[in-house]
Structure 1
């Protein structure tokens, strides 16, 4: 695919331009497209938020303290200045705004939504003049009725082209959709001489098809999803026929592969290649593009991406971070061709609201008061809600070493799940089967940064701490599987680790492409992980080395596990429903679907116990690798808990990148 021609940005270099407008307080400098547009040329700026996850305030409810890296109120403070840099602009949201922090849970589970109520995230968004939004996968976490009550309060439209009310039609344009697939905005734009011309801007939205798995309890029998790319191929020509001059895809989907993969979760690269789509805003992956996070270690771009030009499969594209951390910007230079417009130049940028200086976070902007005011009452109610104590813990709950040793934050989740499932199955045909429990660390640094860890001191445990232990509103489910399948479950989890060579020092331990929420620890068995063996499964569940076996010494009750013996494994609806593509773990194995969320079960467990003892029991460890050591990064506060780690020898190894601390494991 050919690239869009680009206009010369000199003498104002891109770097100088960004520096001049890095903060809201800086004097607005016109983007070169606005400054240099000629007659019949117009500059159109597309501003994007994505993956807000109810973060209105720059406040971390889990830590119960302000946080300069997040919050729509902070992002909003730069919108006016950014609008001032462009002659013409629109503001869109790319989904995942409704769930993701305790304010979202407070509204859904405590206050509720009556007809006519306006959700606080929608109140905040309404103050900013959004032009459109699409749905993300987390919009479905509280059910369709709740979602539509929320959408009803918005002063802007929602679009989604691949979510149907029933079976798929032979022609995607004949699907009975829940929302409009697209909208076409009729706007007037000023060209370089100040003359105004009409332009029709088409906005079309897409959600990952996997919502049918992730929220099956809400969607099965009520909805069906269509492939993102196929929906785009069907609807884009109709948008053109209807008169859209410019078509912008709102893709709540990660980049993925440039080539088409049927029903891909991350399909933005392939979608950008669809004829008729001019630009694409992306999200879902909690990353920012353009930027180094989409580059290899040698600085080269991932296939299909051009970070220098801000192109996604040859089209202008952007990914605007998460939680309000960035405002995504696509700048298009449009040229009038008769009565229509075409794109003749583009730039893109993910503009941050904070930066790290000398290992500390520094805010680049202040909060916008009217945005905070829109959700102030709910913010205060959320604070009161999350501070409610439910019990005590006799030991600290932290996740600093959750990826390298058995961990108390994962341990308490497993204890609660086991306690609950045993009680639920006591009068069923499964009552005599041994109960295991699978749980993963959700907060383990990574993209969330060096402060993104659970850290609860011994003493009172409040609802905010439980929410910190279990971030998602999953429901408890249990599967019945064999001992052999338990082993394969653990083989998949062990894919998070790189292969470690004997006799070699300081090898990187963690594969950053493998999400920590897929690193399941199974409690109730003991095992070791042999890192000298290559991973059997990759981050997406693909078989990499079929003959490899990293899981060794897998024992139940002190004896080698019987491959044929049946076990009940407590988990959540995401994993039991096939989330993460774990081998042979799918809805056919489910024997129990709870009405309760995992988080509610943890609260009830703590209330009943009064005081919990979450100390890790070291049921898993690494097998020795002769003469080898490995390094990993964790939060700087890990030093306060290193003495608690018993199953492996860990020592400080200096500073990591971006404020992380580096540690060494002697294997």
Structure 2
């Protein structure tokens, strides 16, 4: 028998052998398809709107929602504004329940409700523009629209363990790859007063004996808020803070974002506010050497911050593969 015939016979036997193995499931084909386990999430943030949302900003958010049904929208405070707390108190009282048991709602609350904000954080103007009663009404108005009002370092004076509003929320986002839980922590600058009067909330006449704000950095580190959010299921943690990046003058000691980013573990990104500056993206290293991104969207809706996350699921847990931020003019 020639060599060619021998090799032909061997090849035939190998083919027959493989067919038999496959037929009886002794050898199964290897599935090389690997499903895409990446998820992209976007958070939009406004700050220091001071009473109005520009039409261009409304249109921008609406267009972004058309492209991304999982879009998250937050505000970092000073959405409300009035130069006279006495006048605002009178307005809220006159806006009380009428014969139909309906109250008038401040226009900014209606606008934010229609735009579908997921959470708002109290800024200093929400305090100086109101007294305690009218602030209660303002929070109630947001509650009626289903918008959580946040501030983790705001306490009732009579009970340091009692938060005046929610400290955080954990929002569940349904994706094709599974549910992602986004923790949103709210914080407010302690020095809410104007430069020509008392600085701290507890010293303002209209809030004495009712509400107090604790130091932002001390609050987060002592209460270990990021750790608590993750313990309660948050896959990523965003701190939305009414405070500037850092103090450039002695009177601006409340601007603590840089210090917060560098001294606290567990925060993925921070939205800053209060100083009216535009920060597309600044990066800091936390205690563990991990990157924390900071963004701030200026004032009056001139800019909007956009935070982008890429998450990947590994061993049943979501981890941050990439993150970035920018600010855009609507």
Q: Same fold (TM over 0.5)?
A: yes
Any conservation in 1 of the 2:39–2:177 contact (CA below 8 Å)? no
Deviations 1:99-121 (A, max 9, x none): 1579x997555574425331110
Deviations 1:447-476 (A, max 9, x none): xxxxxxxxxxxxxxxxxxxxxxxxxxxxxx
For residue 320 of structure 1, the aligned residue among 290, 297, 315 is: 297
Report the structure, 1 or 2, having the larger helix content. 2
Q: 1:239 to 1:110 in 2, by over 3 A?
A: closer
* Structure 2: distance between partners of 1:152 and 1:336: 38
* Structure 1: distance between partners of 2:277 and 2:40: 26
Secondary structure at the residue paired with 1:78?
helix
* Structure 1: distance between partners of 2:58 and 2:284: 26
* Structure 2: distance between partners of 1:220 and 1:106: 19
Secondary structure at the residue paired with 1:211?
coil
User: Which residue of structure 2 lines up, in the alignment, with residue 210 of structure 1?
Assistant: 191
Deviations 1:576-603 (A, max 9, x none): xxxxxxxxxxxxxxxxxxxxxxxxxxxx
After superposition, residues 513-532 of structure 1 pair within 5 angstroms as: none
Structure 2 residue 41 is matched with structure 1 residue 53: no
User: Which residue of structure 1 lines up, in the alignment, with residue 138 of structure 2?
Assistant: 150
For residue 81 of structure 1, the aligned residue among 63, 71, 86 is: 63
Please state how far the C-alpha of 1:138 moved relative to its aligned partner: 0.6
* Structure 1: distance between partners of 2:82 and 2:284: 27
* Structure 1: distance between partners of 2:284 and 2:301: 22
User: Which residue of structure 2 lines up, in the alignment, with residue 365 of structure 1?
Assistant: none
Q: 1:147 to 1:74 in 2, by over 3 A?
A: farther
User: Which residue of structure 1 lines up, in the alignment, with residue 212 of structure 2?
Assistant: 224
* Structure 1: distance between partners of 2:91 and 2:65: 38
Please state how far the C-alpha of 1:74 moved relative to its aligned partner: 2.3
Structure 2 residue 251 is matched with structure 1 residue 279: no
User: Which residue of structure 1 lines up, in the alignment, with residue 111 of structure 2?
Assistant: 124
* Structure 1: distance between partners of 2:265 and 2:168: 16
Please state how far the C-alpha of 1:186 moved relative to its aligned partner: 1.7
Please state how far the C-alpha of 1:337 moved relative to its aligned partner: 2.3
Structure 2 residue 138 is matched with structure 1 residue 138: no
* Structure 2: distance between partners of 1:217 and 1:42: 49
User: Which residue of structure 2 lines up, in the alignment, with residue 521 of structure 1?
Assistant: none
Secondary structure at the residue paired with 2:133?
helix
Q: Which of 1 and 2 has greater Rg?
A: 2
Deviations 1:165-191 (A, max 9, x none): 02685xxxxx211011111112212xx
Structure 2 residue 80 is matched with structure 1 residue 90: no
For residue 164 of structure 1, the aligned residue among 155, 164, 171 is: 155
Any conservation in 2 of the 1:43–1:86 contact (CA below 8 Å)? no
List 4+ stretches of structure 1 deviating above 4 A: 84-87, 104-112
User: Which residue of structure 1 lines up, in the alignment, with residue 11 of structure 2?
Assistant: none
* Structure 2: distance between partners of 1:275 and 1:168: 28
* Structure 1: distance between partners of 2:81 and 2:120: 15
For residue 259 of structure 2, the aligned residue among 265, 270, 277 is: 270
Any conservation in 1 of the 2:237–2:267 contact (CA below 8 Å)? yes
* Structure 2: distance between partners of 1:238 and 1:43: 24
Secondary structure at the residue paired with 1:148?
helix
Structure 2 residue 213 is matched with structure 1 residue 241: no
User: Which residue of structure 2 lines up, in the alignment, with residue 339 of structure 1?
Assistant: 316
Please state how far the C-alpha of 1:264 moved relative to its aligned partner: 4.0
User: Which residue of structure 2 lines up, in the alignment, with residue 251 of structure 1?
Assistant: 241
Any conservation in 2 of the 1:199–1:341 contact (CA below 8 Å)? yes
Secondary structure at the residue paired with 2:178?
strand
| RCO higher in structure (CA 8 A, sep ≥6) | 2
* Structure 2: distance between partners of 1:76 and 1:312: 31
Question: What RMSD, in angstroms, separates the aligned Cα atoms of the two structures?
Answer: 2.7
Structure 2 residue 36 is matched with structure 1 residue 39: yes
Aligned length: 269
Please state how far the C-alpha of 1:289 moved relative to its aligned partner: 0.7
Q: What is the TM-score of this pair, normalised by structure 2? A: 0.74
Q: What is the TM-score of this pair, normalised by structure 1? A: 0.38
Any conservation in 2 of the 1:320–1:327 contact (CA below 8 Å)? yes
Q: 1:98 to 1:199 in 2, by over 3 A?
A: same
Q: Unaligned regions of 5+ residues in structure 2, if any?
A: 1-34, 98-102, 286-290
After superposition, residues 531-546 of structure 1 pair within 5 angstroms as: none
Please state how far the C-alpha of 1:339 moved relative to its aligned partner: 2.6
* Structure 2: distance between partners of 1:255 and 1:269: 5
User: Which residue of structure 2 lines up, in the alignment, with residue 382 of structure 1?
Assistant: none
Q: 1:106 to 1:218 in 2, by over 3 A?
A: closer
Please state how far the C-alpha of 1:159 moved relative to its aligned partner: 1.1
User: Which residue of structure 2 lines up, in the alignment, with residue 538 of structure 1?
Assistant: none
Please state how far the C-alpha of 1:342 moved relative to its aligned partner: 1.7
After superposition, residues 148-547 of structure 1 pair within 5 angstroms as: 148-154=136-142, 155=145, 156-166=147-157, 175-189=161-175, 195-211=176-192, 213-214=198-199, 216-233=204-221, 234=223, 235-256=225-246, 264-273=253-262, 274-290=264-280, 307=281, 310-313=282-285, 314-353=291-330
Any conservation in 1 of the 2:38–2:177 contact (CA below 8 Å)? no
Please state how far the C-alpha of 1:164 moved relative to its aligned partner: 0.8
* Structure 1: distance between partners of 2:312 and 2:214: 34
